[in-house]
Structure 1
């Protein structure tokens, strides 16, 4: 089954590449690697604002991370033209806007990791880091960047 078919089966429509909010590009391809700049969580087209452990719980944060994964796939598709060219999701780095005592950043990030596994199968298994941070641009609750290997 193609990646497009899997996305259709999951009722996912990939968005166009978002315009960067500062002085950077959405992705850089070098050799067989594509580096996708950090994407913040968005809800209804606006930054998904919140702080885990204060105004949001783990499950809502996980939903935000899943939404970022969809946006990341949209950018990855723009970078390579066809997601079937992806050989491997190599690494995610996740920043979770959280209180000092919130310790479930890894569970929040599972929202993205699990979706990459559903869509890409074994090629979606990746290395990752999940950090708690004091703030993310525009007050967003989660930001994730991605590295992928492509053919």
Structure 2
């Protein structure tokens, strides 16, 4: 039987990015019971580097529109790691929570609009299974100067 999630990705002309390797002493996914935790993902491009337009602080160097696109790209990395861990995105029952970290100027307050890039993408791809709770936090800096980082908790089918 065809993988419905892969069909959905194809219908949306979305290709999940290549998997990035952990650079320190952590793993990208951890399953406990029916929950899959996906570590924070950055907005790496196809070359394995963060595109320059996504490096820096939202509100000064990076536009809110590019921040939105960066959060969307982070979410695609989240789903790529989930698919690797589960074998298929069809194994996701629902997205329980997304966590977003936005590298923003101290006076920049529209963090939610940036994180909507991730929220909109997961609902677009998973439909109602993608509706989630969310936390969005403004931070002083992120690894490699990324403007956004996104993590997830996913409820998955029992093995």
TM interval, short-chain normalised: over 0.9
Q: Following the alignment from structure 1 to structure 2, what is the Cα–Cα distance between the partners of residues 49 and 72? A: 19
110, 120, 138: which one pairs with 2:144?
138
Q: Equivalent of 1:17, from 16, 19, 23?
A: 19
Name the structure 2 match of 1:88.
94
Give yes or no for contact 1:27–1:36 (8 Å, CA) kept in 2: yes
Find the counterpart in structure 1 of residue 49 from structure 2. 46
Structure 2 unaligned residues grouped into runs of 5+ = none
Counterpart of 1:78 in structure 2 is: 84
- Superposed CA RMSD in Å reads 1.2
Question: TM-score normalized by structure 1?
Answer: 0.96
How far 1:101 sits from its partner (Å)? 0.5
How many residue pairs match? The answer is 151
Instruction: State the TM-score, normalized to the length of structure 2.
Output: 0.91
Structure 1: segments with no counterpart, 5+ residues: none
Question: Deviations for 1:61-113, whole angstroms, at most 9, x for unmatched residues?
Answer: 00000111111110000111011111001101100000000011111000010
CA distance in 1, matches of 2:119, 2:103: 18
Does the aligned pair in 1 maintain the 2:99–2:136 contact within 8 Å?
yes
Q: Conserved in 1, the CA contact under 8 Å of 2:123 and 2:129?
A: yes
Which of 110, 114, 119 lines up with 2:120 in the alignment? 114
| Structure with more of its chain in strand, by fraction | 1
> Any conservation in 1 of the 2:55–2:62 contact (CA below 8 Å)?
no
Between stretches 69-78 and 14-23, larger displacement belongs to: 14-23
